[in-house]
Amino acid sequence: MSGLAFRDVTLHVAGKKLLGPLSLDLAPGAVVTIMGPSGSGKSSLLAYLCGTLDRAFAATGSAMLDGTDLTGVAPEKRRIGILFQDDLLFPHLSVAGNLAFAIPANAPDRKVLVDAALAEAELDGYGARDPTTLSGGQRARVSLMRALLAEPRAILLDEPFSKLDADLRGKMREFVFAHIRMRKIPCLMVTHDEADAAAAGGYILRL
Amino acid sequence: MMKRREFMIAAGALAATPAFAQSSWNETLAAAKGKQVFFNAWGGDERTNAFIAWTAERVRAAFDIDLRHVRLRDTAEAVQRVIAEKAAGRDSGGSVDLIWINGPNFLAMKEQRLHYGPFAERLPNFRYVDVTGKPSNVVDFTVPVDGYAAPWRLAQIVYVYDSARLPKPPRSMAAMLAWAKENPGRLTHPTARNFLGATFLKQALYELTPDRTLLAAAPTDANYDAAVAPLWAWYDALRPNLWRRGTQFPESGPAQRTLLNDGEIDLMISFNPAEAAVSIANNLLPATARATGLEGGTIANTSFVSIPYNAANPAAAMVVADFLLSGEAQARMNDPRHLGNPTVLDIDRLPPEQKKFFGEVPSIPGMPTAAELGRALPEPHPGWMTRLAADWEKRVLR
Amino acid sequence: MLRLAPPATLLIFLAPIVAGLLGTALPAFGWFPALGGHEFGFAVFARLFAQPGLGTSVALTLFTGFLATALSLTLALAFCAAAYGTRGFATAQRFLAPLLATPHAALAIGFAFLVAPSGWIARLISPELSGWTRPPDIATIQDPLGLAFVAGLMLKETPYLLLCLVAAIGQADLARSLATARMLGYGKFTAWAKIAIPRLYPQIRLPVYAVLAFALSNVDVALILVPTNPPSLSVLIVRWISDPHLDLFLPATAAGLLLFALVVVSIGVWRLGEIAIAHLARDWLTNGERGSRGAIRNSTARAMLALLFGLAIAALIALAVWSFTLSWRFPDALPDRWTNANWLREAPSLAAPATTTLFVALCATAIAILLSVLCLENEIRTGKRATKALALLYAPLLIPQVSFLIGAQTLLVRLNLDGGFVALVWAHLLFVLPYVFLALADPWRALDPRYARIAACLGASPLRVFFAVKIPLLLRPLMVAAAIGFAVSAALYLPTLFAGSGRWTSLTTEAVTLASGGDRRVLGVYAFTQAALPLIVYAMALALPAFLYRNRKGMA
């Protein structure tokens, strides 16, 4: 079975239940939005799926990606990409360096891939730039392209548009979802912005 | 490589005849090759440090020996290290190969059998040492050296002064006290914890004590107090008139020289007759600096090098000790542009190839004439120095 | 493996200290078989208390230790109160790093060159202003009260406490609280005293205790600046240990314990003082007394700090001037003949101690960085802060060095490790590690953990995350920590003396040895080199990330 699925996921912190039990199936190309107030454990769910959940949390249940059980799989082996509200571009690398960081080591023609990603982000010729010299929208686009260059089999969005200016937000939503749909991978977004959910257009789960 | 013990037995047995001695020395030279020698020597005098650095260059070139100068604040540090190693059971491969030593430190090591040897007579250059004209080369502070140390440097007490400020320096203890009373704050001496500082007291003792013959043997509880009473009477009168009213003392001989050069004091004690001359040449004292002995003569002694019983490289240490006795090293030491100490050798007996190093000694200002220097007196037994230093500590530390 | 890092670090660390203290305590209580001591008792202490001058020495130690700590702390706090938020504060901050990188001994030697009766200051004002044609017979260094020693300590300890305060200010959100107080009508100085100090002091408490312990037990600055008859206790101990007849070795071990006890009691007394002041100030904090603008206090505090920094800089210049002097008679203001011969002549003998200083510092710093990073990574990965256990890292800063080094040396000799490079690096590590860990902990913990997570989600292995993301992101704090570690190591006197067994000499041991001699020109060469080496390393450590990231504003 392809796509992202999880069964009966429950998160506990300090002995108290934070979230769950929660089950979901995301087919390739599907976008699901989880909405809920802050502190409801939305972000922790994404961390659980990435394999980067803090040790303070206890998780039960299971998650599968393209038919493989993710239990015990190291984050770097899961091939699940994530975007946060901050672009988190590595400040010590150039724009191209950030993109190249994500490309698998054995990929041929790395430079071609980087240039193509820059073109897709409408940032031709920006490769050598310091990420801090880019605008917020430009950085967000680089951040998405970086996540996609790692060839993820699923992508998670953690309030991805909340820090962008209001006028940028609409454009960025379009850009993100268009690219994700093009890649035909499942996408799980957590947000508390109804407009995000509307733009995603998929199933909405309210906590 | 031959084990040290075997080597010692072999060397001792073979030293009997000159031909064997030569072959034994060749073995020593071979054993010394490529070895390190940690030369533990007081590091407070820059001219001596420079001389040791020169020695290191020469023994590296001539004998492939890596001589390292371990600069001590006090020779006692090295003695203590050997004692600590003995306490820890390290009877070979010790961290000290060669020590610049004499007086109480030499006696302490001799009493505790911490010396390697006897080795001095096995050194080829030892045959040129003047053992009759300069008796301190074989009797250190009344203690027979017995070959457990090799001489390298002669010393005699002088008092150095700036003739521009002090035209007529005092030449007796009584005169010194009178002058100090008239010129308070213009005299000091190194702390008595320092060799030279204790020597300042000893020199005064020599002149003031009622019966000098007692000084040739260790002091006893019965004779000590009476022997030193006049010294302390003199010193108690002198001390309030010393620099800093006798509460602070320079840590070393060279530290006094700074005070003299700055004009803080007008008179200082030194163990090197060439002190004024060498210091003028090195811009450490003004050109008007001069040195003088005392009317009744001053104490003279010999600096030795000895090898601890557990030295890692005794053969290499012996080669260095022998080099220090060579005409080349002794002539450089004798040169007032370097150290200016009298040689321990009898120059007349030197073969021509060694004698040639003692060429023209340049006449430079500041050297005392033989008359100014005066008679050389023998060192008292080290026991006197030890007790004087302890007494001084009790008087000064409150 | 990683989880073994904290216990391993503590073992490397505490084992020698505990063993060293034991090695000091056993002979002090009479058990020293090598010298025939097999019975426990207080005989050694009885001999200690019979030593001449011991009481004066203890009094001098306590007086100078407390005075130096109190004055350094007062000045650092007063300067913050007077200058926080002004240009002067920013200027002072720029001087902190180079001052802290300069070894104590070099500053003390330079300070002595300045303020001695024949020092540069006296030469500048003589004979015109002072009328002196000869240096006055006044003890301006090695004075009976130890005031020169106090000043010498303040040269380093005030900047150190100031640095700790700056770090603490960065963590507390002070600016708004102070602004609020000012709006309520409080004078600047009073606002600082009532709002900032109560919040900052707990954060700098440990550094203050470290300063107190250091001031009570320092040897290298004391050797240069304290009076000698008798000196402070630590110097007395070092003097006794080098007695050839071992007569004073046992009393020295007892004195080592006495010094340890003095430090412990002093820290306790200081703590009581803190409590008393907090109690007395409770009403004062809220009594509504707003204080004046405190203009006089402000300018006094700023002038005092400027004077202190000025003295430190002038001290370094004095070292440089002497190193190029051929002859300089009193009371000339400057040398009458200059030369580079001192440098040329000393260069060969300078090479060995400089190399030793460099290598020991590099090795100790590298190991300290490695251990600190492993501990911090372990902390981040397990989410457990071993704060309490790691607080023990500060033990070497609070225990007098001489107290455990006496015993540790006997131990090293027994293990046949004395005089070895390993022992030397180990001894340095004890003091380098706490400072490196301190410098690294905050930036390491403050790094946004999402960088590592996002890198992992991009397919980077933990090793790649560490080397390609964390190390580059933390390069600047890593280099700063390395520079601090280097400076700490380069300045160490006693550990080098003891663990090096005289076979290893550093620029510091050489400079302190030469300080008892008579040639200021040679001493200038050594002390200036001693000061310059850590400064150069510091500059390089700051230059490397600045160069690598010259086009990365996000890394500034």
What is the per-residue pLDDT across B141-150, written as a single tens digit (0 to 9) for each? Answer: 889 999 999 9
Helix, strand, coil distribution of chain A in percent, nearest 5: 35, 25, 40
pLDDT at C440: 92
Task: Confirm if B94 and C501 have CB atoms less than 8 A apart.
Answer: no
Indicate whether B175 and B136 sit together in one domain. Answer: no
Contact C326 B283 (CB under 8 A): yes
Task: Considering only the C-alpha atoms of chain B, give the largest distance between any 2 of them, rounded to a whole number of Å.
Answer: 66
3-state percent helix, strand, coil for chain C, nearest multiple of 5:
75, 0, 20
Chain A residues within 8 A of C462 when measuring between CB atoms: 74, 76
Q: Which residues of C touch B257 (CB under 8 A)?
A: 518
What digits encode the pLDDT tens for the residues A15-44? 888 887 888 888 888 888 888 877 778 888
Residue B60 touches chain C, beta carbons under 8 Å = no
CA distances from C433 to A100, C362, C374 (A): 37, 12, 12
Per-residue model confidence (pLDDT) at position B7: 38
Say whether A81 and C457 touch across the interface (CB within 8 A): yes
Which chains reach chain B with 3 or more Cβ–Cβ distances below 8 angstroms?
Answer: C
Question: Which of A89-93, A128-132, B240-244, C392-396 shows the highest mean pLDDT?
Answer: B240-244
pLDDT at C356: 95
Determine the pLDDT at residue C1. 63
Q: What is the CATH number of the domain that holds B382?
A: 3.40.190.10
Q: Which of C382, C453, C555 sits opposite A55 (nearest CB)?
A: C382
At the topology level, CATH places domain A1-74+187-207 in Rossmann fold (3.40.50)
For chains A and B, tell me whether 3 or more CB atom pairs sit within 8 A of each other: no
* Residue C49 forms contact with B (CB below 8 Å): no
Residues B130 and B148 in one domain: yes
> Could you say which residues of chain C have pLDDT below 70?
1, 34-36, 244-246, 292-294, 385-390, 556
SS3 call for C145: coil
Question: Contacts of residue A94 in chain C, CB cutoff 8 Å?
Answer: 551
Q: What is the 3-state secondary structure (H, E, C) of chain B?
A: CCCHHHHHHHHHHHCCCHHHHHHHHHHHHHHHCCCEEEEEEECCCHHHHHHHHHHHHHHHHHHCCEEEEEEECCCHHHHHHHHHHHHCCCCCCECCCEEEECCHHHHHHHHCCCECCCCHHHCHHHHHECCCCCHHHCEECCEECCCCCEEEEEEECEEEEECCCCCCCCCCHHHHHHHHHHCCCCECCCCCCCHHHHHHHHHHHHHHCCCHHHHHCCCCHHHHHHHHHHHHHHHHHHHHHCHHHHCCCCCCHHHHHHHHHHCCCCEEEECCCCHHHHHHHCCCCCCCEEEECCCCCEEEEEEEEECECCECCHHHHHHHHHHHCCHHHHHHHHCCCCCCCCCCECHHHCCHHHHCCCCCCCCCCCCCCHHHHCCEECCCCHHHHHHHHHHHHHHHCC
pLDDT tens for residues B49-75?
A: 999 999 999 999 999 999 999 888 778
**Could you tell me the residue range of the domain that residue B107 belongs to?**
4-154+301-364
> Which residues 475-494 in chain C show a CB within 8 A of chain A?
475
What percentage of residues in chain A have a pLDDT greater than 90?
A: 8
Which contiguous run of DSSP H or E holds residue C178? helix C174-183
Walking along chain B (398 residues) 10 residues at a time, the average pLDDT comes out as 37 41 85 95 85 96 94 84 84 93 91 92 94 88 93 95 95 96 96 92 95 94 96 97 94 91 95 91 92 94 96 96 96 88 90 85 79 89 92 90
d(CA C174, CA C178): 6
Residue C463 sits at the chain A interface (C-beta within 8 Å): no
Which helix H or strand E contains C183, and what residues bound it?
A: helix C174-183
- N residues, chain C: 556
pLDDT at position B15? 39
- CATH placement of domain C2-29+139-171+205-289+342-555: 1.10.3720.10
The half-sphere exposure of A160 on its side-chain side, counting CA atoms within 13 A, is 32
A70 pLDDT above the threshold of 60: yes
CB of A173 within 8 Å of a chain C CB? The answer is no
Do the Cβ atoms of B342 and B277 come closer than 8 Å? no
Task: Looking at the structure, tell me whether residues B42 and B113 fall in a common domain.
Answer: yes
Under a CB-based contact definition with an 8 Å cutoff, are residues B358 and B327 in contact? yes
**For C13-55, how does the pLDDT look when each residue is reduced to its tens digit (9 = 90+)?**
788 888 899 989 988 998 877 666 777 888 889 999 999 999 9
> Touching A: which chains, 3+ CB pairs < 8 A?
C
Contacts of B108 in chain C (CB under 8 A): 244-245
Cα A116 to the center of its chain, rounded Å: 20
**Chain C nearest C-alpha distance from B195 (Å):** 13
Instruction: Please check whether residues B19 and B147 belong to one and the same domain.
Output: yes
- In the prediction, which pLDDT does A71 show? 83
Instruction: Give yes or no: residues B258 and B376 share one domain.
Output: yes
B118 with B229, same domain? no
Based on the fold, state whether residues B167 and B309 are members of the same structural domain: no
Q: Are C28 and C250 in contact (CB under 8 A)?
A: yes
